[in-house]
């Protein structure tokens, strides 16, 4: 993992913050769209990490 790359936990925390902002109902529409796009990117990144981890669990030798 690159130093500048966030950990899974950091991405999940950021995603939770974005969701809280969106659910607050106080975010202007333009910002809401931006937050949604950022949230989807974080979600997809986390999903890919989870899928890679699951694959690794099923076949530990595949990573070597």
The closest of 11, 33, 4, 9 to 21, measured between CA atoms, is 33
| pLDDT at 12 (0 to 100) | 95
20, two tokens: 């809280």
pLDDT digits (tens, 9 = 90+) for 8-61: 999 999 999 999 999 999 999 999 999 999 999 999 999 999 999 999 999 877
CB 38 within 8 A of CB 17: no
| pLDDT at 2 (0 to 100) | 57
| pLDDT at 60 (0 to 100) | 76
CB 15 within 8 A of CB 38: no
* pTM passes above 0.75: yes
Angle at alpha carbon of residue 8, lines to 29 and 33, rounded to 5°: 10
Q: How many CA atoms lie within 13 A of 32 on its CB side?
A: 8
């Amino acid at each position: 993992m690159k130093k500048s790359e966030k950990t899974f936990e950091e991405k999940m925390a950021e995603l939770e913050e974005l969701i809280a902002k969106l659910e607050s109902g106080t975010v202007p529409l333009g910002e809401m769209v931006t937050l949604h796009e950022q949230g989807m990117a974080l979600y997809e990144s986390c999903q890919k990490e989870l899928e890679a981890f699951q694959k690794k669990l099923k076949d530990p030798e595949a990573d070597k």
